[in-house]
Amino acid sequence: MEEWKEIKVGDIGRVITGKTPKTSNSTYYGGNIPFLTPSDDMSVKYVRDTKKHITEEGRNSVKNATLPANAICVSCIGSDLGKVVITTKETVTNQQINSIIVDETKFDVDYIYYAMIELGKVLNFHSKTSTAVPIVNKSSFSQYAILCPPLNVQKKIGTLLSSID
């Protein structure tokens, strides 16, 4: 049996912290690109819609912040810290969310989603010990670690948990 390895979040794929288009520019809002924030429903596995949407111009104003489908988004602030969802289409998030574009040649998206839910519980627990509003920045987020089996085992686990979910 192949060994499980401790993997840093930053090694799972590309980690991106979201950006908010300037709210003072009305031409950035009201389009059809989902704009995910912690106030959206992050109690489900897949985010299919968001409360706010931005335009192509809004997306262009926050270069390199567009996530593809199957990106894993983790709320990294306040009482919502540790909530996790997967995108279903191109999405932009605000700066309170760190996301992982998973390297699917090495990791299974479903397995990583469930591992991040467990890590999210740890993040949320740590937030309860602080008197200030807890924030996990990209650098700290990238340094957290999860246990990962070989890819074929990840796929079996991810498929099994998805069928139960």
**What is the distance between the alpha carbons of residues 114 and 109, in angstroms, rounded to a whole number?**
9
Q: What is the pLDDT of residue 2?
A: 72
Sign of the alpha-carbon torsion through 107, 109, 62, 80: negative
User: Considering the chain, what percentage of its residues have pLDDT values greater than 70?
Assistant: 95
24 confidence band (pLDDT: 50, 70, 90)? very high
SS3 of 65, please?
coil
The least confident of 65-74, 76-85, 121-130, 140-149 is: 121-130
Q: Is residue 133 scored above 80 in pLDDT? A: no
CA-closest candidate to residue 9, choices 120, 93, 95, 86: 120
Q: What is the pLDDT of residue 9?
A: 97
Topology of the domain covering 5-164: Adenine-n6-DNA-methyltransferase TaqI; Chain A, domain 2 (3.90.220)
Q: What is the pLDDT of residues 93-129, one digit of tens each?
A: 999 999 999 999 999 999 999 999 999 888 877 666 6
Sign of the alpha-carbon torsion through 94, 63, 100, 128: negative
> For residues 14 and 126, which has the higher predicted lDDT (pLDDT)?
14
CA-closest candidate to residue 10, choices 78, 103, 95, 94: 103
